[in-house]
Amino acid sequence: MSTTTDGTASGLAVRAAAVIPGGVNSGQRQVPGLEQLVVAATSGASFTDASGHVFTDYHAAFGPPLLGHNDADVDAAVAAAGRSVDLMGVGVTAVEVELAEKLVQHVPSLEKVLLTSTGSEATFHALRVSRAATGRRHIIKFQGCYHGWHDSVAMNVISPADKVGHKDPLSQGMLPEVVDATIVCRFNDADQVEQALRDHDVAAIIIEPIPHNIGAVLPQPGFLERLRELATAYGTVLVFDEVITGFRHGLGGYQAVAGVTPDLTTLGKAMANGWPVSALGGRAELMDLFSTTPGRPAFFAGTFNGHPATSAAALATIEKLEREPVHEHVFRLGERARTELQAMYDRIGVPAVVAGFGSVFVSYFLEPPVVSYDDLLRNDVDLFVGYRRELMQDGIFELPLNLKRSHVSYAHTDDDIDRLLEATESAVTRHLATRA
Ligand SMILES: Cc1ncc(COP(=O)(O)O)c(C=O)c1O
């Protein structure tokens, strides 16, 4: 039992560690060097820690607040929903219908859509329905992609060199037969996928069209198209996991940018600007296999699915994305960050590849090319993490963890990017000086 009511930053961290295993509520939140971090407030492009330090936030909670933290329109919609109807657990509400209509309107692959709370639930159900539809066992995923915590996919994300090319489960306690049923392929290597499709009974290929869980490795021209052709030829379900790319890279997701239409799509994160709602949608023929239609074979349930408040958050987010030049703004600032950071590294003679798309940017410290996860094994991890720790001294927050991407929101300004460029040059230089 906790014996203190100390509300200071260090007091809260101690109290957290006493009653919350590891002191945080997600394994991704315990970052070396940040064990004492207690967040007191968020607003727009920044957050404030419990000691009163303000940081410009490029971590952005791994991506949701595309409009910026505490967006007034989204938060007002949530409050209004809370005053009108809360969770009923039977039937449907108007806001769920309006949200589903919006999703189907914008995302090319969506003929029908179901709501979940988290991205992991969405990818779980994508794979379940793929197996139900095909009667097949195997799944193909790619080294470097993350699709959530469940046994079929929780493997081979940021793997050490000696695990690349082998199974690299993220956890103990996963069923070996489930791990065995997942085949891990190299991103941008369609020949390897074709071989796997020939050798195994593959129900689904699941992919982040841009693997943002390792920063930003872009699909090479023709790669996603070839996956589409292969999936069709082999009768395998193609799943685009757009939990990060959906809404952040455009109202139609990255599939609209790439012009490649998967069979199923998962969405989450930026869809509701930070409120917990995700979605799985796709071809009606597949979506109609879920048990939301009585007698259909793929069981689907969730107490909080389609919660009116989070559905209202998603609807308000999407309406703002339709109404205001959000993508224009974040794409312009993202492009500034990428090109000007690259020019700065070139000028000061630090080998770097600044990658990204739209609002996302990441500085890898390596020589090109960056085509697949294996290339990222050359990243200078000490510099990658070290300059980000230095940046915190200047009130700028990029997550100090290897390969993690950074995000620009609608609340960031040109002044923020000016400050980012100046502070990054100084942070990289200071960190390199510690190695001299
Ligand atoms: C691409 C992708 N898919 C799925 C997930 C899982 O989503 P959640 O954490 O909401 O379960 C994540 C989470 O980071 C993700 O990045």
Nearest to 247 by CA among 411, 72, 63, 112: 63
Amino acid at 53: H
Answer whether 35's CB lies under 8 Å from 13's CB. yes
pLDDT band at 153 (very low <50, low <70, confident <90, very high): very high
Give yes or no for residue 9 having a pLDDT over 90: no
pLDDT band at 2 (very low <50, low <70, confident <90, very high): very low
Indicate which residue's Cα is closest to atom 2 of ligand 1: 147
Residues 196-229 pLDDT 10s: 999 999 999 999 999 999 999 999 999 999 999 9
Average pLDDT over residues 145-167: 98
Query: SS3 of 356, please?
Result: strand
Tell me what the pLDDT averaged over the chain comes to.
Answer: 97
Write down the pLDDT at residue 436: 80
Q: Is 241 an annotated catalytic residue?
A: yes
Write down the pLDDT at residue 163: 98
Q: Is 180 an annotated catalytic residue?
A: no
Cis status, amide bond into 369, omega within 30 of 0? yes
**CA 70 – CA 80 distance, rounded (Å):** 15
Residues 244-280 pLDDT 10s: 999 999 999 999 999 999 999 999 999 999 999 999 9
What residue ranges line ligand 1, CB within 6 angstroms?
A: 62, 118-120, 123, 146-148, 208, 213, 241, 243-244, 268, 278
Write down the pLDDT at residue 406: 98
Q: What is the DSSP string of 95-140?
A: HHHHHHHHHHHHSTT-SEEEEESSHHHHHHHHHHHHHHHH---EEE
**CA 82 – CA 79 distance, rounded (Å):** 5
Q: What is the DSSP string of 1-33?
A: -------SHHHHHHHHHHHSGGGSSSGGG--TT
Query: How many CB atoms within 10 Å of residue 224?
Result: 23
Pocket test for ligand 1, best of 146, 152, 157, 249 (most atoms within 8 A of CB): 146
**CA 325 – CA 282 distance, rounded (Å):** 27
| 5 CB-near residues (< 8 Å, 6+ apart) | none
Burial code (b: 16+ CB inside 10 Å, e: under 16) for 53-81 equals eebbbbbbbbbbbbbbbebeebbebbeeb
Ligand 1 center to residue 11 CA distance, Å?
A: 31
Give yes or no for residue 1 having a pLDDT over 50: no
Residues 286-331 pLDDT 10s: 999 999 999 999 999 999 999 999 999 999 999 999 999 999 999 9
Ligand 1 center to residue 345 CA distance, Å?
A: 31
Write down the pLDDT at residue 4: 63
Query: Which residue is catalytic, options 71, 241, 375, 416?
Result: 241
Average pLDDT over residues 225-238: 98
